[in-house]
Structure 1
């Protein structure tokens, strides 16, 4: 995801969907060299074509999905009076530093301490004085749950702050157990609390060969230590969220959000349609 955001950020301002000046800092030297080459339009197009060939749909879906969630976050702050954003498994998310939400807002990033240490060390080289309030909460998902580690301060403030939870990549049974604990934790928040989650359509796990390029993508994920073994049925997502006292405000796969941001060009963008975004609101 950091690589894809960095590629998008090399485009001219009038062409790109967003700008992330920090994404390249998390990449290896080899990938940073590729990003330097992407400032040449021909090279950037060749790299995008290579990614599409190897991992169909991942690049265009990731860019459109990032922009979609960016817009959801900004809208939540500006129109729904959200003033606290809690990002779960934040990894190299940089929204706290790059989004112009137009209002005072606090960010909380929850992640493994090793990931946070690496991320902070890279960001501090670029950002000497952060312009936003950002708290880091350490969470080892193999040993702890969100409700166990979240500071009592955040719990006490939940009735004064209006909160949005963001969790990208709900893809494993371990994460699903944490999601259930998260939804239970969120029930104690006021109505209007928002949740944005990304997830794979469970059909891609049941019939992987019926989805363009997924077998190759899945092999790459496994080599990287990401073993997708959990998905949701989008046909039942409204009922799923209703059981957790949530109302669905948006649900769509890559075909939907690519069309939203790429327009007619999206007709030629194939692959990764099974990866979805759902936005819900606490009743």
Structure 2
């Protein structure tokens, strides 16, 4: 009889849960640990390499992911707790945004290193334009999360605002990726966008084509892989929120674990192993460095 009552209680909790299931406790613990380790490692790497922009980007992503998966861990003890649910959904939606900003910065630095004449935009504009778009996306998603969390009855309006932020982020990633691919193709085939781009002496020198060193090649591949992971995750979250709070996508835990959690783990650990502090060091062509020193 007690077994029957226990089963009935679990089924009732599942039906009342905003997840439409009870989050796996072991999976939540695994992701909390994974994101925690990566965040601590990134903090140490940032301090050691003195790359301070990693703190408001990748490190913040890791901290917020830990918070989000802690919310899922909390939900595994009480699946009907609305505070735990809103913590995890808001945190896991917002967390990848600063990680994406780091990708924008890294691409700009790679372009500056290899030759700005092959880029559709000057390197600094990748940071200015795309980080601004990323910030706008963050504000939209945060606003939607706040509306959903404060809703007494229907959180759908807030979810729709979050969806708008995710869609905007997906468009941003797509445009950024298209520009990155164009740069790489132009660089490989030596087809500058504007060979005479010379806004300043420094810009003219950085427009000189430099060799693709093993470090830069590894950094570029890592950046591409990280971006693909973030793109897959953004597509998933777009479909999830479009499907609704009670849809099949949000109600299937394995989708979330693989297409959200695992994708961000892969993206953030990629930057641990292929760290900008090592792979973006100044190992350019000595001739180019010499010319810059003359200037």
TM-score by length of 1: 0.26
Larger radius of gyration: 2
TM-score by length of 2: 0.25
As a proportion of its length, which structure holds more helix? 2
